[in-house]
Amino acid sequence: MATLNKTRPSCARVKVEVDIMGEFPTRINVGMRKKTGEVVEKWVPIKYDYVPKYCKTCKLQGHNERECFVIHPELYPKEEKEVVVVAHGTKKR
């Protein structure tokens, strides 16, 4: 609507559904019909606002292949953090 009303004529925001296992398209071919009836095609680049992290190796969301411990075991934290356990209500048995 913003492009139709020309309040934001240079940018159209759309919601798309894509296969997360595939490559995301970087451009889309848009056909525009002129008043004469002639259709003009134009390649429009796509800019993604948000792409969730997904690892195709682990088939999990939350990290990508650059951050994957399976692909890059050297990235795994070497020292485990010290765990301090504070017990409450130990009088009840």
Helix (H, G, I), strand (E, B) or coil at 85: coil
Taken in order 61, 66, 72, 78, the sign of the CA dihedral is negative
Q: CA separation (Å) from 20 to 13, 17, 71, 83?
A: 20, 9, 19, 36
Q: Is 64 in the site for Zn ion (CB under 5 A)?
A: no
Site residue total, Zn ion (CB under 5 A): 5
Query: Whole-number minimum distance, CB 68 to Zn ion, in Å?
Result: 3
Interface residue with Zn ion, options 24, 57, 61, 62 (CB under 5 A)? 57
Q: Is 58 in the site for Zn ion (CB under 5 A)?
A: yes
Using CB under 5 A as the criterion, which residues of the chain lie in contact with Zn ion when the complex forms?
55, 57-58, 68, 70
